[in-house]
Structure 1
Amino acid sequence: MGTHFKLSSIKIELAFIISVLLAFTGCVTDSYQVKSEEQSAVEQTPAESPSPDPQSTEVSKEAYESSPIKEEKGSIAHVTPEKQISRSTTPVIKEPASRPLKKKASSSIPNYKKTDKSAQDLLDSALAFCNASNDFWERGDLDNAVDALDEAYSLILQINPDEPPEILQQRDDLRITISKRIMQVYSSRYTVVNGYHKAIPLDMNRHVKKALNLLKGKHRKFFLSAYRRSGKYRPAIVKALKEAGLPEELSWLPLIESGFKVKALSRARALGMWQFIASTGYKYGLKRDRWVDERMDPAKSTAAAIAYLKDLHQIFGDWDTVLAAYNCGEGRVLRVIKTQRVNYLDHFWDLYGKLPAETAFYVPKFLAVLHIINDPKAYGFTLPPVDKEIGTETVTMHKQVSLKTMAKHIGVSYEVLRELNPALRRNSTPPRPYAFRVPMGKGPTLLAELDKIPQWRPPIPTYVTHRVRRGETLSTIARKYRTSVKAIMARNHLRSRSYIKTGWKLKIPTRVRYASAGQSAASHPSSKRVNKPPKKPALSKYRVRKGDSLWKIANRFNTTTKAIQSLNGLHNSRLSIGQVLVISKPSAAYSVTGTEMYRVRKGDSPYIIAQKHQMDLAEFLRMNRLTPRSTIFPGQTLSVKPR
C-alpha cells in the first residue's frame, strides 16, 4: 500500500499561487482556503498500516529513464553533469517514512471511508517524480528535471475532483510545489546565461555530426576564410558580450550568419555581419537612409544584436531555441512551441523537426563551429592566423566631403577609409554630423586638413528611378526606357532577369539624363527660351503601349486627359495596348497669354528650368501639373513665365 502523507503547508499568498499556476500549467486550481500557520499544523502519529516497501515509492534515475516519458521525448541533449547550477535554497521535498495523517481535533471534516488506493498511489508516484526531479536538478541535468516535473504533473491531473478533501489538499499542495520547482529550474537557466557558467551546451547528435561533415568537406574553405576575417571584429564583439553578461560563444555567430562580412546581403534582404532585415534593424535602433545603413556598421549592429538576443532569451530561456528564433523570427518559433504538449521550457531538439529546414540546420551548424574552434585537431583542422584588428579613432564630421579627396589630404588609402566606415552607402560623408572613423593617429591630421578639403556636391545621376508595377518585367521596363535588361540588372545588382517584385525601386540607366522634379545641380547646359507668336497646335498620332495611362500620355504631350478623351471620343479612361490616339501636340513655339513654352533639353530638371525663369519650383510644378516625383523628357514642352 502507498504511504499516506501530507505536505507541509506552503506559506504563500493566494494571488501568487494562481499566477504561478496560470503561467506554467495553464490550469486553474481548485479553490481552497489558505489557512494560518496555527490552523495548518498537522498532528502526525505512528502508522497503523504496515511499513511500505521503500522501492514502491522511490524512483531512481534508472527507473525514470525507462519510464514512458523518456520514450515520448526522444533524443535529449543533457547538460554536462559536472556543471554547477546556481539556484535558490528551497528545501528538498522528502516523503515521510510511514506516518499517515491524523484528523485534527478541531476539524469538522466528515468521516470518509478509507481513501481509494489508486488516488493515493497517484500522489505517491507524483511525489516520487518530484523528488527525482530535484535529484536531476542537483546534478545539473535540467532537461530531465523538467521532464520529471512534467510526468509528476500529468499524474496529479488524473486524480478525480470528487476525492475527499485530504486528497485534494495534498494534490493542490503538490501542484504548487511543481510550479515553484519549474520557476527554480528556469531561474537556474537564467543564472547560467548571465555568464557565471558555460551557457551553451556542446551537444553532439546526428544533426551536429552532419554539420561537422559539411564544414570538414564542402564548406571547409568558407569556414577557414571566415575564421581568418574574424580577427578584425571578434575582439570587440567578445568585449561587448562580456559587458552584457552573455556567453562569449555567441561571438562566433557572425561566422555562420555572414562569414564575418560586414556587407553580406542575403536573399531575404538581410544585411550586414549580423544579418538584420530592415524592420528588425529599425526596431533595435539601426538607422537607414540614402546616405547610411547602420546594419553594416560593426559596432552598432553588434549592440543591436546583443539587445535582440537578450530579448529572445527572456522569451525562450535556452540558447539553442534563441538561436533558432534569431534565424527565423520569434513568431515562427512560438507558433511551433504552441503545438507541443508542454508549453514551457521546451527543449530545442523537441522543436527541431517542426522548424524550417534552414533554421533547423542553423543550430547544429553553430554547435559544429564551436566543436571545431574548441578542438580543431580532433576534426582535422589547422586554424590559420586571424587578421589583425585595426585601431581607429573617431572624428565628428560637420561637412560633406568626398572620401577620395579626404584620403589624399590625410595620407590614407581610399580603400582603408571605406573599410573603416562600411555603413556609408556613398563615396562621401552624409550632409549632417557624422562620426567618421580614421586609423589611429590620423584624427588630428584630418581636423587640420578639413578646411582645405572642398565641399562635396552630388552629381546629376545618369539614371532614373522606376517603381515596379504589377505585371511589369525587366524586358518591358527596358523597352520603356530604351535600355537593355543587362544594363538594368548590372545597375541594381540583380541575379535573375525573371525575378522582380511589385514595389521595388529600380535604377534605370539611360543615355539621356532624365531628371526628377526635386533635383538640382550646380551647373547645367544652357537652355533656349522660345518666344514666338502662337501657332495652332498640330495633331499627332500615338500608339498605346503596355503601362500607359491617359494621365501619363497627357503629361508627356503637355495636354490634358479631357482633351485626349474629347479628340478621340473616349467615354472613360480605359485604354488598350496598340490603340491609336490622336494627340493635340503644341509646337515648341506655342504659348498662351502670360506664359511661354519651353522645350526640355538634355540635363534639364524642373528645378533648373524654374531657376532659369525666376520661378518658384512649386509655381512651376503647379503650372505644368507636375509633382515633385514627376519625370520630364528631352523634347517635352513646358509652360514658363516670360522673363
Structure 2
Amino acid sequence: MDGTGMKWNNSPIGIMGAIGLLIGLAGSPSVLAAQPQPVTSPVTSGVSGATAPQAHTAADLFPVPPMLKPNVAFWRKVFGVWREDQVALHDMDDLRLVYKVVEIPGPVGDALTFSQRRFVREQRSELEDELAQLQHRVDRRERLNARQQALLARIIALAGPQALNGAADRVRTQRGLRERFLRGLEISGRYEPGFRAIFREAGLPADLAYLPHVESSFMPRALSSAGAVGMWQFTRATGRVFMQINRAVDERRDPFASARAAAGYLRTAYEALGSWPLAITSYNYGILGMMQAKERYGADFGRILRDYRSRTFGFASHNFYAEFLAVREIARDPQRYFAGQIHYETPVARDRVVLTRPMRAYVLAERYQVKPARLAALNAAWTSAAVHGRVPLPAGTTVWLPEGRLAALGVGDWASLQRPGPVAHPVPVALRFVRVADAGPRPARAAGLYHVVRRNETLITIARHYRMKVSTLRARNGIPAHDHLIRIGEKLLIRSVPRPNHVAQTARSEAVHVVRPGESPSVIAHRYGIRLAALLEVNDMSRRAVIYPGQRLEIPVRN
C-alpha cells in the first residue's frame, strides 16, 4: 500500500502508507475474510479482551476533535461542493484559510491539460508572491494598499494574525471532486451493502465501508502511481499478508476479497492502536508509524495531529481521518449534497463457491455450465494465466458464479442473505453462496487437546493463545484457507498427541520475552545468544513470520 494519490486528487492519498505497517506486527497476520452467513448464525468474529472493536456504529467510535472540525468542513467542500473545474488555493496547515476558489478554463477531464496545469501553477505563484509581499510590508510596518488590506483582513478573520507568518510557503491547491464523488456514490450501490456485511461479521463498525470513497471513489480498477491496486488500494507486498496474490489470483482486484483483507488490516490496526482515529490514519501512514506517534504523545489524536512531526507524516496522513469523516457524513446524507442526482447501481447478486482443492478455470466453466468469458468477467481477481487455464486456481480461491446457478444445478446447501443497505440506499438483492465447494466433513475428532470456541474469539486469537500458526490450526481442523468462520461452542483440535521427548529437549523455554517496538526475531535471538531457528521452533513460527509489540515469545534453553 502506498502513500501516493490518484491522479484526480492533488492530495497524495493512497492506502496504508509504508510497508512498515508490517514491521513489528503479529507472527500470524490478522486476516479476517469473513464469509457471509445468515443473520441468525451464531458466528463469533470479535477480538477477545476489553479493547475489542464493536460491530455497532456509534458517534463515539469516530470522534471529531475540535481542532479537526475545520479540516472535515474543508473536505466536505472538496467532495460535495467544489466541482472538478474548480481549484481551491488554501493554506496547507490551516484548512480554515481558503484564499480563493478559481475556475479552470476550458473543458476538464480526469487529468488536466498542459495549459490548464499551467493556469493553476500561475494562480498559485501569483498568490505566493502576494503573500510574501504582504508579510514583508507588515513586518516593516509599511502602508498597505486596498487589496493587501483585504487579504490581511481575510487571513486574520479566518485563522488569526499568526497565520500570515510563512503563509507564502504553505500555499496548496486542491481540485474539487464533486462529480467523481457522485459517481462513486452511484457505484457504491453495487458494493457497499456487501462491504458493510463483511465489516459487521468481522465485528467492526460497518461505516468503515465508506473508506473506498477516499481511496478510489469505488473504482474497481483503480491503480496508483506507487502500484496500489483496486478499490481498497493494496500494494502487492501488503496484499500478500492479507489475501491471495500469486500466479493465478490477485485478490486486490476483487472488491469483496479486498474488503475482507481491509477488515483484517483494520482489526490488526485497532488491536495495536486502541482507537479508530489512529487505526484509520494508519491505513495511510502505517501501524508502526502511528504506534511511534502514540508512544510519544499518547492516545490524544488531536495532539498527535498538532505536534507529531515526521518526514513521512505529511499532508495526506494528517488529513486521512478528516477525509473519512467527511465522506461518511456526505454518504449518510447524500440528498443534502446531491438532491435528485443520485442513481445507485443495483447491488451485486452472485453465487459464490470456495475451492478446497486446485482446479482450472475451464473445468469450473464446464462444471457450472458458465461460458469461460462470462466466468472470467465475474472473477476479476483471476490472472490471465488462470483464465486461459495455464495455471490452476489454488485451494481457497473464491469463485463467483451467476446468481441462481447453484440452485439451478442443485449444488450443495445454499442460503440467501438480505443485507440492509445504508440510509436512502435501495434494499440489495440477496447474495447466494455455498460455504465451501466440494467440501467433505471435517476430520473425525482425534484424542488430544481441544479448545472450545467462546464469544468474540477468532482463529487468529486462538492460534496466538496457543502460540501456534493459524495455518497449523487450520490444517489440524480441516478449515480451508479462506474460511474464517467459527461458531460458539465449536471444538478445535490444538494438539492430538504430546510432543516427542526430543522436541521437548531442544525446544524447552527458560524465559518469556515481551516484544518491544522495532524488534525482530533475529534481533531477539541475538540478544539472548540463541539460534534464530531455535527461537522460531519453540514459538511455532516460520522465517517469514511477523511479530508485534507486546507479543510474548518463549526463549529456548541454549544448548
What TM-score, normalized by structure 1, do the two folds share?
Answer: 0.36
Structure of higher RCO (CA pairs closer than 8 Å, 6+ residues apart): 2
Query: Based on CA coordinates, which of the two structures has the bigger radius of gyration?
Result: 1
